[in-house]
Structure 1
Amino acid sequence: MAHIHYKFSSKLSYDTVVFDGPNISLTDLKKQIMGREKLRAGDCDLQIINAQTKEEDGGHIPKGSSVIVRRIPLIGAKSSSNSKTNHKYVCF
């Protein structure tokens, strides 16, 4: 079993995603992280950054990698704490 270590930029410690194969697609990694963290795909997207190079990862991530995750709110998504639609733009 292969693994990737991930942590949200606001956390100090890493968690682990386990998968089969030499690498995992970015889409599958996001799905696994969202499932483990109980995030809904309709509320946000995840930005995945290589922890060593600080560059945004794309495509496939090789086993044994460490990544930093940032939650990016979707524009126009309904807030879980508010029934109104959020139409504010998010700038980073």
Structure 2
Amino acid sequence: MSAVHYKFFSKLKYDIVTFDGLHISLRDLKCRIMGREKLKAANCVLQISNAQTEEEYTDDNALIPKNSSVIVRRIPVGGVKATSKTSVRSRTKPVSGTSKAIGDSPASISVAQLTKAVNNFKSGTGYRKRIQQQQRRQPPPPPPSPPLQCPYLSVLKSQIDLLGE
């Protein structure tokens, strides 16, 4: 028995789909996942991508090797509504013609910014600077409070003085 490990994007744990052979087609994997999760094809479409390379499998005839790990996203049949907040995340390039990279878009970060980030990471200066900035932002400790002034303390002292005489 061979297996493919899958998890939905929003979940933490992987589940397993078992099959015979060295690989499983994307169509068969989607059908088995929908059967195990009790999903209906009329409600959603499954988007499956490789967990390590983050490449999306788009061709239903694409073969997924045994012991692979994949991430599953449920996409509504009508599509996803666009929001005003957009974020671009750079992903890896596709390995073969049967898949495409997720989030492929024009350069979202300049080469200079990327080089600076890599150099900061290698030298650790970015981390050190953030720690120093956090330490500077912390408010100074409060001044020590003055000793408590008890009105009865003076009365007690006078009584002790009277007893001592």
Paired position in structure 1 for 2:71: 68
Paired position in structure 1 for 2:51: 51
Q: CA deviation at 1:46?
A: 0.2
Q: CA deviation at 1:36?
A: 0.3
Please tell me whether Structure 1 or Structure 2 has the larger radius of gyration of its CA atoms. Answer: 2
What is the TM-score of this pair, normalised by structure 2? Answer: 0.46
**Runs of 5+ in structure 2 lacking a partner?**
83-165
**Amino acid corresponding to residue 22 of structure 1 in structure 2:** L
Q: CA deviation at 1:91?
A: 3.9
If asked which structure has higher relative contact order (CA below 8 Å, sep 6+), I would say 1
SS in 1 for 2:55: coil
Paired position in structure 1 for 2:80: 90
SS in 2 for 1:32: helix
The structure carrying a bigger helix percent of its residues is 2
**Amino acid corresponding to residue 63 of structure 1 in structure 2:** K
Over the aligned positions, Cα root-mean-square deviation in angstroms equals 1.2
Give the total of aligned pairs. 79
Q: Partners of 1:70 and 1:91 in 2: how far apart?
A: 15
SS in 1 for 2:73: strand
**Runs of 5+ in structure 1 lacking a partner?**
76-88
Q: Partners of 1:43 and 1:36 in 2: how far apart?
A: 15
Q: Write out per-residue CA displacement over residues 54-88 of structure 1, whole angstroms, 9 at most, x where no aligned residue.
A: 1102411000000000001101xxxxxxxxxxxxx
Q: Partners of 2:53 and 2:9 in 1: how far apart?
A: 15
Identity within the alignment, %: 65
